Structure 1
Amino acid sequence: MTTLDIIRKTKAAWSALRDADAETKNRLLTAMADSLVDHTAEILTCNETDLEAARGHISDVMLDRLRLDEGRIAAMAEGIRATVKLPDHTGRILSETHHANGMTIYKKQVPLGLVAIIYESRPNVTSDAAALTVKSGNVCVLRSGKEAVRTSTAIVKALKQGISAVGGDPDIVNILEDTSHESARVLMTADGLVDLLIPRGGAGLIRACVEQATVPCIQTGTGICHVYVDEYADLDKAVKIIVNAKTSRPSVCNAEEVCLVHRAVAERFLPMLRKALTEDRTAAGQIPVELRLDPRAAAVIPGTPAGPADFDTEFLDYILAVRVVDSVDEAIEHIQAHSTHHSEAIVTENDANAEKFVNGVDSAAVYVNVSTRFTDGGEFGLGCEMGISTQKLHARGPMGLDELSTYQYIIRGSGQTR
């Protein structure tokens, strides 16, 4: 079956879901979660095959993104069950206007239709995307990267078996086993069939989709996330936040890539930062973080001199670019020049500086004294997420049920003419 055949088959299945009530959709989702757990052994076997094929070709950090275990599969199932608990917004009336001529104009939330997701080596995206599309009344076509295709296909097989077990149409969720550029091109240009394309992955994938797609496309994911340590920061708190933002999972888009430090605290803070990220991690048998330092930071602590591209790079690794700045205004200026508008944080005890930072930084998520790692649909109460939008139209930040919906106007009257 060709890519276009799969797209058409999936779009045809939308009629089975677009008008489904909340109880029906939740029954499907619960069965999907149960089936995912029931097929853990098969999924892990496929995952080990993917891991073996990828070793030596992708970094250890990216291998961790690819790797599944029983706990991660259980967490994926819990993500689906969390979606079950969310209110069903499909069909709700967003506004109601009464015209002078007696007709009533309703603005109604409705599903988009067919949502296509192109993603790389994160198998959990498979279940997250399927859950959110089903809950929002949409159908989906998934295209995994080649490193994860066996695992993702096994996950979809389990989800489809769950859907079938409760009488649903299994074609509401499909995956392309063809991971060639051609299959991606067909998805990007399936006008009239694909209602929204969402790329989840590195800058290259996102750029290719945005530039080549003729279907509506959301720009997501790339995260050059900053943490600014203000002159009024609690430095112990700053270390704690940065250790989490950089090292808890460096391969994800909400991980910190750049640290900006006010010159007034640089001589005290930078040695604390280096100790926590390099010496302490080495002593604990953990991977130390390579610090890439601008000249002012390098005058305080040892590290690697920062190159011209280091403040514009999403490392997705144990690497952190560090720069010393003279003010909160300079920190904001740097972020505006180098950010991908994903997530930024300020660490400060000064309310005025915090407010200046929040108002001055034009990113989807802005934090005060919090790690950037919280930019996540689950953490934001969305159940799971489809991706992090770094644009402003039609979605921004973690994409949940509302962002997988559109609206239509329903006008009721009694024979009015114009």
Structure 2
Amino acid sequence: MTELATNLTTYMNQVGQKAKSASTHLARADTKTKNYALTCIKAQIIAHRDDILSANAIDVQNGKDKGLEPALLDRLVISEKVFVGILNSLDDVIGLPDPIGEMSELTYRPSGIQLGKMRVPLGVIGMIYESRPNVTIEAGSLAIKSGNAIILRGGSEAFYSNQALAKCIHLGLEQAGLPTDGVQVLATTDREAVDKLITMTGAVDVVIPRGGRGLIERIANNARVPVIKHLDGNCHTFVDEFANMDMAMKVCVNAKTSRYSPCNVMETLLVHAKIADVALPQIAKAMSDVDSAMMFRVCKNSQAILANLGLNLETATEDDWYAEYLAPILAVKVVDDIDHAIHHINHYGSHHTDVIITDNYTNSQRFIREVDSSSVMVNASSRFADGFEYGLGAEIGISTDKIHARGPVGLHGLTSQKWVVFGHGEVRV
């Protein structure tokens, strides 16, 4: 083992031990103390605004120099809107009810004991993510509020931004009397640190990766601790035969063109054959008006309908139905009916977010029951699949796994429940 690897191993072991120790203090912190810590962190971010933006400017310039992909570069920038969003997310988390200690399902058994469940922190969370330095604050704040310690490993492209934000978190925790080791941002860009983090079974209770498919697949394949994840954001919108056309156009345009980089963007448009001749040209033309570079990867029937409209068309391949483009590219398919739409989504989709546009109640209920995704929507843009929009205050990620946390993961997703029994001297007979 090289000297570097030896040093890294020592460093990661220390990080894990510190997080484990801090988690016991955070788990017993009361709501008032945790909220005060978040308030102090917000004040520190405001006070260090210039330092944060300067650090971010270095990361952005380095990203440009290295030819960082447009989607990652877009996520990296701390714009005025993003900065305000960071502060607002802290306010939102402060305002959320504290789930820790919450009792549910209390019931008496014939034996006389009273049985229930208590909500408790997971313990130590390992978080690996790319770009998006705002995730540092969102994940840190959710961990604090839910009584967990967290180890954050951001991408090398956001190193300086994350370190500047980590300083604000530590100052806020210290001011509130909570252990600064409760939120640790790794001070290394060594990829091996990730490999060690995801195998630290004695210190880390769950790992949450947030980034590109390659990163998440690597972590899912190599982790020795449980993983909360989603691989792709191949989101669909199905325009049913009973859709309101004005609504369909508005929702579809927003779902695709408002931004290209988030995982909740529509990547495939499905249109019912009975209305395709009318609906498809309207929707495609509206998207092209917003972005003239929009490329449509079309099925045979879509090709025939859109052929003479002067749009950018390419014939779709099998791979296009699986694709998450994160770009001005949209797969388009005409389907025979709702059965084919549901089958297509369940077969090709990533189980992230899928939408039906319809005024038919029966079809809407079938869609939400039968589409096997973590978020299913009726007459709304897939862009709403977000922790903030769901009222979670912030999100630490999105899960498409079928475990306790599915969809946007907020406070409750960072907790579990344990059985609690209250007795009066009862004994088992």
Shorter-chain TM-score category? over 0.9
Q: Which amino acid aligns with 1:326?
A: D
2:90 alignment counterpart = 80
Does the Cα contact within 8 Å between 1:34 and 1:77 map onto a contact in 2? no
Q: Which amino acid aligns with 1:76?
A: I
Separation in 2 of the partners of 1:164 and 1:103? 42
Provide Cα deviations, 1:154-209, integer angstroms capped at 9, x if missing partner. 11111111222233221111011323331111111000211111111122222222
- Structure 2 residue 306 is the aligned partner of structure 1 residue 297: no
2:272 alignment counterpart = 262
Specify every segment of 5 or more residues in structure 1 that has no aligned partner in the other structure, as ranges.
283-287
- Structure 2 residue 43 is the aligned partner of structure 1 residue 34: yes
Q: How does 1:306-321 map to 2 (within 5 A)?
A: 306-321=316-331
Q: Which amino acid aligns with 1:194?
A: V
- Structure 2 residue 54 is the aligned partner of structure 1 residue 49: no
Separation in 1 of the partners of 2:249 and 2:69? 26
1:392 alignment counterpart = 402
Separation in 2 of the partners of 1:416 and 1:352? 51
Separation in 2 of the partners of 1:270 and 1:106? 53
- Structure 2 residue 191 is the aligned partner of structure 1 residue 146: no
- Structure 2 residue 33 is the aligned partner of structure 1 residue 24: yes
Provide Cα deviations, 1:104-132, integer angstroms capped at 9, x if missing partner. 33321111111111111111111110011
Separation in 1 of the partners of 2:359 and 2:423? 57
Identify the match of residue 227 of structure 1 among 237, 245, 256.
237
Report SS of the residue matched to 1:299: helix
1:285 alignment counterpart = none
Separation in 1 of the partners of 2:415 and 2:41? 22
Instruction: Tell me the TM-score normalised to structure 2 length.
Output: 0.93
Aligned-pair distance for 1:221? 5.4
Q: Which amino acid aligns with 1:299?
A: A
Does the Cα contact within 8 Å between 2:201 and 2:224 map onto a contact in 1? yes
User: Pairwise CA RMSD of aligned residues?
Assistant: 1.5
1:356 alignment counterpart = 366
Separation in 2 of the partners of 1:37 and 1:289? 39
Identify the match of residue 92 of structure 1 among 85, 102, 107.
102
1:4 alignment counterpart = 13
- Structure 2 residue 140 is the aligned partner of structure 1 residue 130: yes
Instruction: Tell me the TM-score normalised to structure 1 length.
Output: 0.95
1:61 alignment counterpart = 71
Separation in 1 of the partners of 2:361 and 2:67? 47
Q: Residues 103 and 349 of structure 1: is their aligned pair in 2 closer, same or farther, counting only changes over 3 Å? A: closer
Specify every segment of 5 or more residues in structure 2 that has no aligned partner in the other structure, as ranges.
1-9, 308-312
| Number of matched pairs | 413
Aligned-pair distance for 1:102? 3.1
Q: Residues 45 and 412 of structure 1: is their aligned pair in 2 closer, same or farther, counting only changes over 3 Å? A: same
- Structure 2 residue 246 is the aligned partner of structure 1 residue 241: no
Separation in 1 of the partners of 2:290 and 2:176? 52
Over 6 Å off, 4+ runs: none
Provide Cα deviations, 1:327-375, integer angstroms capped at 9, x if missing partner. 1111111001011111000111222222221222111111111000111
Which segment drifts farther, 94-103 or 313-322? 94-103
Q: Residues 34 and 221 of structure 1: is their aligned pair in 2 closer, same or farther, counting only changes over 3 Å? A: farther
